Amino acid sequence: MAIAATNASLSRPFSHWSVAGLWLVGLIAYGVLVWLLDDVTTRAVNDGAWTLASAAAAWSCFITARQLPSSSARAWWLFGTGCLCWFIGQLLWNYNRWMLGIDMPFESIGQIFYLLFPLLAIGAISQLPESHHGSPIMPKQLGNVALVLCCLAVTVVLGLIEPAIQSNVPRYYLWLGGGRSVFVAATFLYALYTLWTYRWSAMWTVVLKIVVAAGVYAVGNLIYLHALFTRTYLPDDLINVSWLLVFAFLSWAAVERHWSHLNPRELPPARLLMQERWIEAVIPALLIIIMVIVAVSSHATLTTRVLTWTAVLFIIFAIVLGVREALVQNDTQRLNNDLMDSNRRLNEANADLRESEKRYRDLNTVLEKRVAERTAQLERAYGELEGFSYAVAHDLKSPLRAIDGFAHLLREEVNDMSPQGDAHLRRIRSGVLRMSSLIDDLLSYASIERRDLHATDVDVPELVQSVLEGCAEEIQRRNIKVELEIEPLIVFLDAEGLALAVRNLIGNAIKYSTSVESPTLTVRAVRTEHGARLTVADNGIGFDMQYHDTIFKIFQRLHREDQYPGTGIGLALVRKAVERIGGRVWAESAIGRGATFFIELPQRVIRS
């Protein structure tokens, strides 16, 4: 019955309810058989049901222990071992009764195995709390222990003392039965104490089922021993079903623990607090109810001696309960005082925070005003600087044009000019052209930061082709071999900025490869995992990589003007333009092995 339920629990959610249903069906079948059959057959049904129930519970516990982590599995290994000990004791009972013909084999060695069941159960219950190691023993916990011990003492005094004294059974049998009853009652009370003391979260229903199993076991055992002492036990007594209920609840708890491991969940803090308050209120009342029930059920054996001992224990119970409640109230009041003190400090901190926020708002207002003033000043300064730049460019280029024009006229009017004079005029005109180019580049560098970006869809192959067409005459004149490896690629960015960068890089590649015999220009455009990469490579003179950062700075040149003409602004323009469109530029080179410049564009600008 429980074996099938355990297998079902491994494959279906909420199958622990199926386990409960199967056990319920088995209990109903057991009750029908006991009601319909005679005494001899009823004894056989009892022995068979107890044997199968203990085996099924052991199997469920072992299956659960195998599926849990070692820290959580110890409790279920102990529960399974306890059920296995009961199973062995029941086998010995069956052997003595049905093979040897002993009607009530109380003196067999099987009683030792029955006694091991509550001992192992206590050990298993002690392993259920997963976070209790190292926790301090609080006064409330000591009060819980004292109340449980008082209830245990009242149960033993009321239920067993007088029947044992008045019974004529052998002394060793009394001690054996009494000791077993104490252990069984201790199992229930210890389970109740464990449920009462520790926080269980989503596992509290599992512990509650174990408490119910231990409670049924304790009550059933007490009534059973009382019936044996008074010679009133019958095979079809209702108390016989209690052992089946014990194993049913234990098997149900094991399967639910396995299910909760496969389907972990956390209870909300509010629900946990509500559970703790209910347990805190219900368990002391439950202990009192247990003592009252035992007293009522034992009314036939109440004597003055038993009543005296019971009254003393009740008084002790009341005193412990009162002291415990006083300690709980004291802790509650202390926590309330701490909470009020924390609230007061929090209110003070909030007041300070509001004052700080007011100061920050005032400061922010002042800063915003200053930033607005400085922004206006900067805009005026930028406007003046832009006007100054164009004015300077115009004023500087006008004399340059005049110098160039008069130098040209002088060359035409002087027919008999010496070679040295002609060389001087050529240097004048060359200097004028270089100065004009430098002014243009300076204006481009100054305006690139202020220029508005206009992002559009740019066809990279078309852009590269248009730049190469602008350099076609020089490429053809110098017989430069051009290699293109450009993937179809469309990017969304400022076309003028990208064209400026590519134009300068191709111009540099052409310029610095004039001294090689077979100049080659290679342009690539490929996709990468980070976006797109444009590469411009040549097989020219190259440069030392220690000057990598230097060449991207304005006016920084690695060669003389008479070797390779230029203003030293081109690569600085490339870096500015690429950074403004969101990319980055770098180079790789070696002296005499050419140079390769890379432009990497981010993934966000790639359209297709």
> Do 419 and 335 belong to one domain?
no
In the predicted model, what is the mean pLDDT of residues 301-327? 78
- Would residue 354 count as lying in a domain? no
CB of 569 closer than 8 Å to CB of 551: no
Cα 126 from Cα 416, distance rounded (Å): 121
Distances (CA, A) of 16 to 21, 36, 345: 9, 31, 49
Q: Give the Å distances, CA to CA, from 317 to 149, 233, 290, 370.
A: 9, 33, 13, 77
Q: pLDDT confidence of 2, banded at 50, 70, 90?
A: very low
Q: Which has more confidence, 134 or 446?
A: 446
Q: What is the pLDDT of residues 431-455, one digit of tens each?
A: 666 666 666 666 666 666 666 677 8
* pLDDT for 441: 63
Same domain, 202 and 246: yes
Mean pLDDT of all residues in 101-113? 66
Residue 39: inside a domain = yes
| Nearest-5° Cα angle at 323, 320 to 328 | 120
For residues 3-10, average pLDDT: 40
Please, how many CA atoms are within 13 Å of residue 501, restricted to the half-sphere of its CB? 28
pLDDT one-digit tens code per residue, 552-608: 777 666 666 555 665 667 788 888 888 888 888 989 988 888 899 999 999 888 887
Q: Which of 335-339, 499-503, 561-565 has the highest mean pLDDT?
A: 499-503
In a domain, 257, yes or no: yes
Q: Is the same domain home to 263 and 385?
A: no
Whether pLDDT at 45 is above 70: yes
Q: Which of 229-238, 312-321, 347-356 has the highest mean pLDDT?
A: 347-356
Q: How large a percentage of the chain has pLDDT more than 90?
A: 5
Q: Where are the beta strands (DSSP E) in 92-135?
A: none
| Residue 234 maps to a domain | yes
3-class secondary-structure state, position 266:
coil
C-beta of residue 160 within 8 angstroms of C-beta of residue 115: no
Give the burial class of 570: count Cβ atoms within 10 A of its Cβ; 0-12 exposed, 13-18 middle, 19 or more buried. Answer: buried
Q: Check whether 10 has a pLDDT greater than 60.
A: no
- Nearest CA to 519 out of 543, 500, 537, 501 is that of 537
The last residue of a domain, from among 408, 426, 450: 450
- Are residue 440 and residue 478 in the same domain, yes or no? no
Domain boundary among 435, 450, 465: 450
What is the enclosing helix (H) or strand (E) of 173? helix 171-197
Between residues 6 and 233, the one the model is more confident about: 233
Q: Looking at residue 176, what is its pLDDT?
A: 62
**Secondary structure of residue 78 in the 3-state scheme:** helix
Q: Is residue 353 part of a domain?
A: no
**159: its two tokens:** 């239920």
Burial grade of 338 (CB within 10 A; 0-12, 13-18, 19 or more): exposed
Residue predicted with more confidence, 475 or 172: 475
Whether pLDDT at 364 is above 60:
yes
**Residue burial 246-280, b: 16+ Cβ < 10 Å; e: rest:** bbbbbbbbbbbbbbbeeeeeeeeeeebeebeeebe
Instruction: Supply the Cα-derived Rg of the chain in whole angstroms.
Output: 49
Residues 535 and 489 in one domain: yes
Greatest extent of the chain over all pairs of C-alpha atoms, in Å: 158
Q: What average pLDDT does the segment 189-199 reach?
A: 74
* pLDDT attached to residue 494: 85
User: Is a pLDDT exceeding 70 seen at residue 72?
Assistant: yes
Whether residue 457 sits in one domain with residue 442: no
Asked, for residue 302, whether it belongs to a domain, the answer is yes
Q: How confident is residue 136, by pLDDT bands cut at 50, 70 and 90?
A: very low
Q: Which residues contact 442 (CB under 8 A, 6 or more apart)?
A: 389, 393, 569
pLDDT tier, 389 (very low <50, low <70, confident <90, very high otherwise): low
Residue that finishes a domain, picked among 422, 450, 478: 450
| Beta-carbon contacts of residue 453 (< 8 Å; ≥ 6 apart) | 493, 494, 497, 580, 581
Name the pLDDT band for 226 (thresholds 50, 70, 90): low
Residue 349 lies in a domain: no
Average pLDDT, the chain: 76
Of residues 457 and 276, which shows the higher confidence score? 457
Which amino acid is located at 251 in the chain? S
Query: What average pLDDT score do residues 489-500 get?
Result: 87
pLDDT for the residue 236:
56
Which amino acid type is present at position 275? Answer: Q
Cα–Cα distance between 198 and 294 in angstroms, integer? 27
Q: Are residues 133 and 236 in the same domain?
A: yes
Boundaries of domain holding 280? 2-339
Say which amino acid occupies 75: A
The answer to whether position 359 is within a domain reads no
Domain count across the chain: 3
Phi then psi dihedrals of residue 198, to 5 deg: -105, 160
In the prediction, which pLDDT does 590 show? 86
The alpha-helical segments, DSSP class H, found in 512-581 are 570-580
pLDDT at 107: 56
Same domain? For 472 and 486 the reply is yes
* pLDDT attached to residue 596: 92
Does residue 427 sit in the same domain as residue 480? no
Residues 428 and 545 in one domain: no
CA geometry: angle at 276 spanning 285 and 68, to 5°?
Answer: 115
**Averaged over 3-27, what is the pLDDT?**
57
How sure is the predictor about 8, in pLDDT bands with cuts at 50, 70 and 90? very low
> How sure is the predictor about 524, in pLDDT bands with cuts at 50, 70 and 90?
very high
| pLDDT number for residue 537 | 92
Categorize the per-residue pLDDT at 134 as very low, low, confident or very high, splitting at 50, 70 and 90: very low
Q: What is the pLDDT of residue 174?
A: 59
pLDDT tens digit string along 525-543? 999 888 899 999 998 888 8
Q: Is there a single domain that holds both residue 332 and residue 208?
A: yes
More confident residue, 136 or 299: 299
pTM exceeds 0.75 for this model? no
Q: What is the pLDDT of residues 74-93, one digit of tens each?
A: 888 998 898 999 898 888 88
pLDDT over 70 at 42, yes or no: yes
pLDDT band at residue 318 under the 50/70/90 scheme? confident
Q: Are residues 279 and 426 in the same domain?
A: no
- In this structure, of 31-40, 41-50, 168-177, the range with the lowest mean pLDDT score is 168-177
Give the range among 127-136, 236-245, 360-369, 390-399 with minimum mean pLDDT: 127-136
488 vs 608: CA distance, rounded Å: 8
Identify the band that residue 13 occupies on the pLDDT scale cut at 50, 70 and 90: very low
